[in-house]
Structure 1
Amino acid sequence: MCGIVACRMDEAAGPFLIDALKLLEYRGYDSAGVAIRTLDGTMASSRTTNRVETLERQLDEWAGPALSGTGIGHTRWATHGAVTESNAHPHADCRQRVSIVHNGIIENSDALRRQLEQTGHLFASEVDSEVVSHLIEEELLITGDLRSAVTAATLRLHGSWAIVALDAETGRMVAAAHRSPLLVARSARGVFAASDINAIAEFVDEFQAMTDGDVVELGEEFVWTRSGAHSAAPAYATSNWSGVTHGLAGHTDYMSKEIAEQPETAARIIDRLAPMIADGSLWSGLNLPPFERVAVLGCGTSLNAGRVIANAFGALGDVPNSSLIASEASSAIMDPRTLVIALSQSGETADVLRAIDDLDLGTSSLMALTNSEHSTLARRADSMLNCNAGPEIGVAATKTFVAQVITGVAMALSALAATRRIDRDYARRQTDDLRRIPDLLAHAIAASQKAIPPLIEEIRDAQGFLFLGRGAGVVYAAEGALKLKELSYRWAEHYPAGELKHGPLALVEAGTPVVVIDSGDRRIESNISEVEARGGRIIRIGGAGSTIPALGLSLGTAMPGGIDRWGPLESVVPLQILARDLALALGRDVDKPRNLAKSVTVE
């Protein structure tokens, strides 16, 4: 979602801010902007509702006072106010002295705006964030000190915030955080702040993550305060950025590249985890207490991955399990000794973080499964597992779903072996099934790339789709429907196939595309017949003879790959490719779907 970058360098700030913002584009945004201090003590600002490249051109054409090495930048995903240049960040005070960038939501912004307008402040935007710059302006008139002014301003805020404020007159820069991620760092290249380590990792080897209530002056030395008093600085964390390229590597879009990376991603994760499964060491290394049941917590694709993992606990070890939609979890009651697995690709998903605030875990424990070991979720959980998917630029999750499922299933197997719910020989056999997954994914890619393109013209004009599955296949139908909605902007719903006759069958008419995950349950045939009798167009994803023969059952020597326990994981490949190819045929941007963001940091 919204992204923040800030710097103080000896070299020009402009090129750094632009490059850093480009590294945050994957989060999704609808406007962007920068504010850079000039050498004569004024502020140069540029904002756009287009891509970051527009800012780059505007800075190249800058004809005003020389720009310094101190500046702030932002990518915005609209929550308050329309997508306009005036609503884009950075926002300034009345005197154009203080500029701020802000992530989060100021819940009492309307009341604050009225108070500020009554004292003569003039607002230039509709957004909640602008009140922060005016509050700092007021406090600066009283204290004359930027850090004190930011501290006083944040004491008047309700909600969530990650803020960097820049004073054009003095060049001072102050950061503040509460319930929204922000990290700070320094190196020989300069001083930096960002909401995502990826934006600045090329420039720093380590960083410090701000915690709720922190206010930090980003000077030659960092000054950490909380409620106006000096506070201890958090420990340094090491950046694990490896200089991996974010390029397309010959692909036309990032989604295509990331689909293609799934076999290698799966093999890398399995090679790392497999030796620790049967002996229980993967589980014991998490240092979590015994559990009697499992609950998974997540949103969107991560929730679907969690459901696969929960199903694996049940199918493999008869462990009672449930799933919680994070945005609806506040009233959930946790049974004693529940292992709660919170899933978030970024580890910054606001709904998940608020849910763990609200849940009374009691004797239960919280494990984070994320692609970011330094994220807020990872820090707040009792233990964490990094799914190690690597960078994923496309907004619609592909390889992170596969990585979460494999990592979670490996953990489930190890936990069940460690707690003697399954014996080690059984765990080894299941681990052998996990090792089949990279080949199954590779086969699914090849089969899908051959079978799907001829289908697209036939279904291109369809306005609605049904996705069906049975047993372990239902959650993959859910993921397929979600992908098609995200990318093509067409209506798509998923159902357990047995529920078809209890309502959804009314939607089926001649030509209605109905995608069926055929994971071998014999009952699916009667459901297919029901659709065909109404003229629906069946797109069967299954074994030999299917519309898309992508599952391991279709190989010369069948490779179930855990299909009866954690489901047909390779089925996500044709579902991803179907959604992508349809979206491209409709002229959609598959890497940046409308209205969506990669890291959803607001509730």
Structure 2
Amino acid sequence: MCGIIGAVGRDDETLETLVHGLAKLEYRGYDSAGVALTGDGSGVDICKRAGEIDDLRESLETRSPSGAVGIGHTRWSTHGPPNDANAHPHKDCTGDVAVVHNGIIENYQSVRDELTTSGHTFRSDTDTEVVPHLIEEGLANGLDPEAAFREAVGRIEGSYAIAAVIAGEETIFAARNDSPLVLGLDNEIFYLASDVPAFRDFTDQVVYLADGEFARLDDDWTVTDADGTVLDKDVETVEWDPEETGKSGYDHYMLKEIHEQPRALRQCLRGRVDELGGSVDLGDLGDLSPTGVQFVACGTSYHAALYGAQLFEHAGVPAQAFLASEYAASPPPIGDALVIGVTQSGETADTLSALREASRRGARTLAVTNTVGSTAARECDHVFYIRAGPEIGVAATKTFASQQAALNLLTLATAGGDTRSVVPALRDLPGNVQALLDDSRAADIAEIYEDASSYFFIGRGYHYPVALEGALKMKEITYKHAEGFAAGELKHGPLALVTEDTPVFAIVTGDNEMATKTIGNVKEVEARDAPVVAVTDGQSDVERYADHVLRVPETHPRAAAVLANVQLQLVAYHVANRLGRSIDKPRNLAKSVTVE
């Protein structure tokens, strides 16, 4: 959600660097883009456009800002529609201050009213625009640029990552609160961004800002607290290669990331599973031993949380999964409960809010995340990294599979269970996913059902969260109606929507009572002339009642849920591709949702 890039010290390459960084941040979701540069003695020069990065590039062909210092932004609209005026950067009345901002300024209206009364003229509908005017006020009152920036930040309330440039200063001023911001260091060249991919092609040395911290970038870098005290920040090395954020010959990032799942799963499991001994060792987490577990998460991560809650329940530990945005209204944790926040980015605002509420309630907290140095990783009592590697496509794929694997490891290590049967299944999971990818008929299924009016996904047990996730993927990237259900719930209402134009994807693995009951639900939709696509390992006789079959290898039920999900990812991808959708950047969606 929104993206920030800043660069100091690139000299004649600053503009090119900013546009390159914005392109690397496209995956976060946006509807306009812009840049502001200064440092050549001619004030602050801004160019911004509604639309995509290519639209901005088109504008830059006839009007190229210049300067050795610059900031850029991709905007995901919250206040005001996506148009040129509302695009970032925003400037003050004099044109000497330019600001980019991620997040929401909650008191912007009262501040704006006050500034308007004082004679300031606003040109946009955004909450962000109050910031450059506040800086202008500070400068007019005799403050130096850094003091004016600090005073402006002190006046606003809400979530923000803010970066500003001021005419006459070859400096970027920045601050963060509840929205990510990271510095990139490359000798005497410095970068600022909302996410590492924006500058990873140039450096792997990073400094993560924490809430309440300020940064100043000029001929050096400095991080201070709210009082101006210089902080000794750790410089960390990004382990992944910049090529991991490219498409590697695939048509879309999403397809590449689906095919990266065997490697992502190996990375998640490596060093944590003793294959010979059949045990799991997560020693760096310590002895958690929860008496109860509450999960908080959103979207795809919520489906992983539902899956994780079942794992803990089956291990004898009471567990619940909550939508993070609803957690404040939930019952408090009981006893020595552990609250687990599942968040790919570690910056999801609703999940962070729920984790903070859990801490206020006295619970221990654990972040299951993909992002080293993220807010969730820093704020929680414990952190467990899923190690999926960078994911660029907005629709989560390899991170969901890695979350499933990670939650299996977490359950086995903290609550016990049948490690002798589960560990071999986890060990075989990367190979089984690869075999599935090599032989999948998902593209054929997509060709048959691309024109369907709606899609239903059903499953029981571990497959219920997968049914929900399958429907979410279909909705996200095809823009078609899709719903996931616990298979037994169809007859309690949703069956009224089933027609011959409603393909039903039924996940059935194994040959136990649960499989038998799901086959009964398949018969219910078959009797209403709905086409059935069975996602199955062939152990049951569901194929007798299915129009088409998507195969998964035989394995433990926990691992089968991962495999079934991969087939559904492929179906959604191929339907979207046939419909010509914007697969990597679906409309209205963002990769990291940093507002509540």
Interval containing the TM-score (normalised by the shorter chain): over 0.9
**Residue 339 to residue 146, structure 1, CA distance change in 2 (3 Å):** same
Inter-partner Cα distance in structure 1 for 2:288 and 2:362: 9
Distance verdict in 2 for CA 1:101–1:249, change over 3 Å? same
User: Given the superposition, is the C-alpha separation of residues 273 and 529 from structure 1 closer, same or farther in structure 2, using an over 3 Å criterion?
Assistant: same
What is the CA deviation profile of residues 278-310 of structure 1, one whole-angstrom value per residue up to 9, with x for unaligned ones?
A: 687733321254311122211111111122222
1:98 deviation in Å?
0.3
The 3-state SS of whatever aligns with 2:105 is coil
Matches within 5 A, 1:160-559: 160-275=159-274, 282-315=281-314, 317-332=315-330, 333-360=332-359, 362=361, 364-416=363-415, 421-422=416-417, 426-448=418-440, 450=441, 452-520=442-510, 521-544=515-538, 545=543, 547-552=548-553, 559=554
8 Å contact kept, 1:485–1:492: yes
Checking the alignment, whether the CA contact within 8 Å between 1:414 and 1:427 is kept in structure 2 is: no
**Deviation by residue 1:508-565 (Cα, 9 ceiling, x = unmatched):** 123221111112311112211111111212121113446233222xxxxxx32x21x4
Alignment CA distance shift 1:267-1:233 (3 Å)? closer
String of CA shifts for 1:402-444, please: whole Å, max 9, x gaps.
111112211221223xxxx44xxx4243211111212321232
CA distance in 2, matches of 1:540, 1:215: 54
Alpha-carbon distance in 2 for matches of 1:237, 1:467: 43
Greater mean alpha carbon deviation, residues 168-177 or residues 367-376: 168-177
Offset at 1:55?
2.9
Aligned residue pairs, count: 583
> 2:532 is matched by which residue type in structure 1?
I
Rounded to whole Å, the distance in 2 between the matches of 1:437 and 1:361 is 38
Aligned equivalents of 1:229, 1:458: Cα separation in 2: 63
Q: Residues 18-54 of structure 1: CA distance to partner in whole angstroms, max 9, x if unpaired?
A: 1111111111111111101151231221112232233
Report SS of the residue matched to 1:79.
coil
SS at match of 2:106: coil
Shift of 1:131: 0.9
Distance 2:257 2:188 in 1: 32
Shift, 1:489, TM fit: 0.9
1:570 to 2:570 alignment: no
Q: 1:121 Cα shift?
A: 0.9
Question: Alignment partner of 2:341: what SS?
Answer: strand
Secondary structure of the structure 2 residue equivalent to 1:42 = coil
Whole-Å separation in 2 of the counterparts to 1:35 and 1:232: 28
CA distance in structure 2 between the partners assigned to 1:233 and 1:330 by the alignment: 35
Residues 276 and 414 of structure 1 are in contact (CA less than 8 Å); yes or no, is this contact kept in structure 2?
Answer: no
Distance 2:258 2:231 in 1: 44
Shift of 1:57: 4.2
| Structure 1 letter corresponding to 2:74 | T
SS of equivalent to 1:257: helix
Aligned to 1:587: 580
Contact 1:280 1:415 in 2 (8 A): no
What residue number does 1:97 align with? 96
Secondary structure of residue in 2 paired with 1:99: strand
Greater displacement, 493-502 / 260-269 = 260-269
Q: Normalising by structure 1, what TM-score?
A: 0.92
Whether contact under 8 Å (1:215, 1:226) holds in the other structure is yes
Structure 1 window deviating more from structure 2 (501-510 vs 95-104): it is 501-510
State how far apart, in whole Å, the 1-side matches of 2:39 and 2:360 are.
51
- For 1:525 and 1:427, locate their aligned partners in 2 and report how far apart those are by CA, in whole Å: 29
Contact 2:106–2:157 (Cα < 8 Å) also in 1:
yes
Residue 20 of structure 1 aligns with an amino acid whose one-letter code is: G
Q: Secondary structure at the match of 1:436?
A: helix
What is the deviation of 1:367?
Answer: 1.3
User: 1:483-526, CA deviations, whole angstroms, 9 ceiling, x for partnerless residues?
Assistant: 01101111111111111111111111232211111123111122
Deviation at 1:566, TM superposition (A): 5.9
Which residue in the other structure is 1:78 paired with?
77
Residue 195 of structure 1 and its aligned partner are, at CA, apart by 1.2
Aligned partners of 1:135 and 1:361: how far apart in 2?
34
- Residues 10 and 453 of structure 1, relative CA distance in 2, 3 Å threshold: closer
Task: Please report how far the alpha carbon of residue 390 of structure 1 lies from its aligned counterpart in structure 2 after TM superposition.
Answer: 1.2
Aligned amino acid, residue 260 of structure 1 = H
**SS where residue 11 of structure 2 aligns?**
coil
CA contact (8 A) 1:468 1:497 kept: yes
Which residue of structure 2 aligns with residue 556 of structure 1? none
Cα deviation for residue 231 of structure 1 reads 4.3
Indicate the SS of the match to 1:346. coil
TM-aligned CA deviation for residue 78 of structure 1: 0.9
Q: Counterpart in 1 of 2:17?
A: 16
1:9-158 map, 5 Å? 9-12=9-12, 13-62=14-63, 67-158=66-157
SS of 2:570's partner is helix
In structure 1, distance between residues paired with 2:29 and 2:457:
27
Question: Mean alpha-carbon deviation: is it higher for 70-79 or for 261-270?
Answer: 261-270
Contact 1:295 1:340 in 2 (8 A): yes
What letter corresponds to residue 34 of structure 2 in structure 1?
G
Note the C-alpha offset of 1:276: 8.7
Q: Retained in 2: the 8 A contact 1:373–1:384?
A: no
1:7 and 1:271 map into 2 onto residues whose CA distance is 36
Aligned-pair CA distance for 1:477: 0.3
Assess, with a 3 A threshold, how the Cα gap between structure 1 residues 396 and 531 changes in structure 2: closer, same or farther: same
**CA deviation digits over 1:432-463, x for unaligned, max 9?**
11112123212322343x3x333334422322
Distance 1:26 1:193 in 2: 17
Q: Identify if the C-alpha distance between structure 1 residues 261 and 239 changes in structure 2 by more than 3 Å, giving closer, same or farther.
A: closer
Q: State the Cα distance separating 1:356 from its structure 2 match.
A: 1.4
Counterpart residue identity of residue 141, structure 2: I
2:48, 2:276 → 1: CA distance?
A: 51
- Report deviation, 1:133: 1.0
Q: How far apart are 1:90 and its partner, in Å?
A: 0.5
Q: Unpaired segments of 5 or more residues in structure 2?
A: none
Whole-Å separation in 2 of the counterparts to 1:365 and 1:508? 44
Q: SS of 1:18's equivalent?
A: helix
CA distance in 1, matches of 2:64, 2:307: 56
Q: Residue 350 of structure 1 contacts residue 600 of structure 1 at CA under 8 Å; is this kept in 2?
A: yes
**Equivalent residue number for residue 7 of structure 1:** 7
TM-score, reference length from structure 2: 0.93
Structure-2 change in CA distance of 1:456 and 1:549 (3 Å): closer
Distance in 1 between residues matched to 2:89 and 2:276, nearest whole Å: 49
Does 288-297 or 382-391 show the bigger shift?
288-297
Distance 1:172 1:276, change over 3 A: farther
Q: C-alpha separation between the residues in 2 aligned to 1:23 and 1:42?
A: 27
